[in-house]
Amino acid sequence: MCGIVGYIGERDGQKLLLNGLKCLEYRGYDSSGMAIYLEKKKAISLRKLSGKVKNLEVLLEKKPLFGSLGIAHTRWATHGPPNQLNAHPHLDCKGEIALVHNGIIENYREIKQMLLKETHTFRSQTDTEVIVHLIEKFYYKDASLEEATRRAAKLLKGSFAIALFSDREPDKLIGARCGSPLIVGLGDKENFLASDVPAILDYTKKVIFLEENELVVLEKERVKITNFEGEIIKREPVNISWTKEEAQKQGFPHFMLKEILEQPQVLEKILEQRIKDSGIFFEELGSSSPVLLSKKLSQIKNIFIVACGTAYHAGLVGKYILESLCRIPVLAEVSSEFRYHSSFLIDKDTLVIAISQSGETADTLASVRQAKMQGAEVISICNVLGSTLTRESDAVIYTHAGPEISVASTKTYTAQLMILYLFALYLAVLKETLSKDRINDYLEMLKQIPPKQRQILSNLKIIREIARKHSHFGSFLYLGRNINYPSALEGALKLKEISYIPAEGYAAGEMKHGPIALIDEYRAVVCIIPESKLYDKMLSNIQEIKSRSGKVIAIASEEDRKIKELVSQVIYIPKIEELFSPLLVALPLQLMAYYIAVKRKCNVDQPRNLAKSVTVE
């Protein structure tokens, strides 16, 4: 959601900032802009407009900006429509300060009213413009830009990551964060600001992740970090291990397809890291972990899983896994709901598992903070090193899925599932709910998942043809039972995210309690029916759909003859124990959504109105 890039150094600022914005396009946005200090004119000049970064690039070709200090931004509209006036950067009244902002300022109306009384004039409808005017208010009272920013930041309520500079202090670039991510990149006689790592990977791999309520001053050869009280903070940079190439398409038409196809190798990497000598290893949860120092995992009596979107669906599968293997009550909640009605159930015997691809999901972070206030221990499952969630959790299990650029999560979903399976088996060992032989059997089954996924991915042509045959349907219903009920929810979410087709996921047993009224020849129904103890019940559901002229697509186990007699459109997956079937079912569901969206000529990687990281409530 929105993207920030900032630069101070000796290079061509326009070229560097534009490249950074292109690397952040996956985050979702509807306008873009850039401000650069023009050294010859000793003034700030900016270019901004609605639409994609390519529009900004065309504008800059006609009206270039020459300088080596600047900021750039991609905006996802929250306050005011996506037009040129509301696009970032924003300037103060005198045009001497330029600022970009991610997040939402909750008290902007009150601040704006105060500033209007002081004769400030506003050009946009955004909450962001209030920040630059508030900084201006303090800046012209003999405060440095650093101190003016600090004073303003302490008055803001909500979430923000900001980057700014002034033509009165053209040797400084300033950033600050509260609730929205911001990173510092360290170079040789140059330094960078960005909202995410891909924006600066072409130039440096040395990164400092700013913490909550921190401000940074960047000069060409120096970086200073303080808190909002002005106290100096020392923090060592981390080295980013993945490459820019890993975040590029590598010849694929879309990032989403590339990331779907990467899933077997991602899961192999997780298994190699976690399974050694028939044992399950989570070094993060060892004797040095605060989780085990304060409370043995074997003694926990219940688990809460909090997450949003696709991560929530992974959490729902996790509920089935943990309850089945560990014999412990598990409640999986959407983070935005957990905060307001379930958190009071937490006590000292509760473990909270927070799941987030980005580690910056606002509602999940708020849930974690609420849980910790009530004494719960928090383990997070996350893909992004140094993200806010990982810093605020008691222990972190990284998925190590590599950068996921497409807005619709695919490989991070199955990586989250694999971590949940392994964690459940790890906990089953501690709680002694499974025999060693049974655990070894399950580990062997998990090791078979990557080759079975590759088998599915060898049938892309079949899945593509089925998807294209059904791309004209106006709505879809997804049905699943037991552990594949969450798979139905996830399949429906994928389709609606990237193809804009209305889709619902339902527990198949609930079909007769309402959804059956919608079934006719205009609706396609995706039935998840792998070999399972509820197979015959799913067959009955399919017969009921067929009798009402519904068009059925079945995802079934190979060698299933019964389904072929009943349904003409079948996507087969390799046989697997029902418990582990979501790891296979996910792939045809993702590919179905992908090929339907491509057929409908949708923007697969950057669907409208969506952002990769939802950093505001």
Q: Which residues are catalytic?
A: 2, 612
C-alpha 182/C-alpha 59 separation (Å) is 27
3-state SS, 25-89, equals: HHHCCCEEEEEEEECCCCEEEEEEEECCHHHHHHHHHHCCCCCCEEEEEEECCCCCCCCCCCCCC
Token pair in block for residue 193: 């600001």
Give the residues across from 303 on adjacent strands: 330, 351
Helix or strand or coil: residue 409? coil
User: How far lies 156's CA from each of 80, 107, 111, 112, 210, in Å?
Assistant: 19, 7, 9, 11, 18
| 130 phi, psi to nearest 5 deg | -60, -35
Environment class of 512 (CB within 10 Å of its CB; exposed 0-12, middle 13-18, buried 19+):
exposed
Q: Which amino acid is at 205?
A: K
User: How far lies 238's CA from each of 23, 205, 235, 467, in Å?
Assistant: 20, 8, 9, 43
CA 570, distance to chain mean position in Å, is: 32
How many Cα atoms sit within 13 Å of 140 on the Cβ side? 13
How many helices (H) does the chain have, and how many strands (E)? 20, 27
User: How far lies 582's CA from each of 26, 157, 333, 363, 508, in Å?
Assistant: 26, 41, 19, 26, 16
User: How far lies 65's CA from each of 33, 38, 209, in Å?
Assistant: 12, 7, 29
Rounded to 10°, the helix 263-274/582-599 angle is 150
C-alpha 338/C-alpha 307 separation (Å) is 9
C-alpha 188/C-alpha 361 separation (Å) is 33
How much of the chain is helix, strand and coil, in % rounded to 5?
40, 25, 35
C-alpha 301/C-alpha 350 separation (Å) is 6
* Beta strand ranges found along 357-474 (DSSP E): 377-382, 395-398
Residues in the chain: 617
Of 571, 259, 547, the residue nearest 409 (C-alpha): 259
Helix or strand or coil: residue 503? strand
Contact 578, 530 (CB under 8 A): yes
Helix or strand or coil: residue 356? strand
